[in-house]
């Protein structure tokens, strides 16, 4: 087989896989809190709980691995509340790669709206992570994918990993229901 034919075949398979995800009505699947690496919430999310896709935080002066880790901390904190159904990161990454969108650095509300429609998620979590004067700082907001308007916003900070994790949990709990 020629390289060109092999490449077209792979692209066809990728396109069909993406179409199957979209046709299934999810573009990704909601993560059960246990799968996100956290203890199950006191109350499992209702079937009508809003679906939220959390984009990888844009890193400022931090490694990509650190930005990914902090993004996962936010996903876990949101799943643990039982108020949201969180789109699985692996499924989200695959779907976005198929559409040639970069998940890293998605921080504008317009990008979030496009991403939400693609993933069939009502809300998109976007933001940034960096250091400022020796503290780890996360700025995060939840954007309505239909209107492109931010519905919730918050900041978490901490000098240590443990402080940042606690601050993220507090920030997410403060969001309440959407």
**3-175: CATH, from 3.40.50.10610, 3.40.50.2300, 3.30.390.30, 3.30.565.10:** 3.40.50.10610
70-106 residue pLDDT tens: 999 999 999 999 999 999 888 777 777 766 555 445 5
Cα 21 from Cα 130, distance rounded (Å): 33
Give the chain's residues under pLDDT 70: 1-43, 98-111
Query: Would you state the pLDDT for residue 6?
Result: 45
Query: Would you state the pLDDT for residue 106?
Result: 58
Domain boundaries, the chain: 3-175
Query: Would you state the pLDDT for residue 101?
Result: 52
Query: Would you state the pLDDT for residue 89?
Result: 82
Cα 88 from Cα 119, distance rounded (Å): 10
Query: Would you state the pLDDT for residue 47?
Result: 86
**Long-range contacts: 167-172, Cβ < 8 Å, 24+?**
167/138, 168/70, 168/73, 168/74, 168/77, 168/138, 169/77, 169/80, 171/77, 171/138, 171/140, 172/74, 172/77, 172/78, 172/81
Query: Would you state the pLDDT for residue 44?
Result: 83
Query: Would you state the pLDDT for residue 7?
Result: 46
Query: Would you state the pLDDT for residue 27?
Result: 39
Query: Would you state the pLDDT for residue 109?
Result: 67
Query: Would you state the pLDDT for residue 108?
Result: 67
């Amino acid at each position: 087989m020629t390289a060109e034919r092999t490449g077209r075949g792979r692209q066809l398979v990728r396109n069909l896989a993406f179409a199957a995800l979209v046709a299934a009505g999810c573009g990704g699947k909601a993560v059960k809190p246990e799968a996100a690496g956290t203890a199950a919430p006191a109350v499992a999310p209702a079937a009508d709980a809003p679906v939220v896709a959390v984009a990888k935080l844009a890193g400022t002066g931090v490694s990509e691995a650190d930005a990914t880790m902090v993004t996962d901390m936010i996903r876990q904190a949101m799943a643990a509340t039982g108020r949201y159904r969180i789109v699985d990161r692996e499924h989200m990454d695959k779907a976005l790669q198929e559409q040639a969108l970069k998940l890293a650095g998605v921080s504008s509300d317009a990008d979030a709206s496009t991403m939400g429609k693609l993933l069939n998620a009502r809300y998109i979590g976007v933001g940034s992570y960096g250091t400022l004067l020796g503290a780890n700082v996360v700025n995060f907001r939840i954007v309505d994918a239909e209107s492109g308007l931010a519905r919730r916003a918050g900041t978490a900070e901490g000098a240590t990993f443990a402080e940042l994790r606690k601050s993220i949990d507090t920030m997410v709990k403060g969001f309440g229901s959407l």
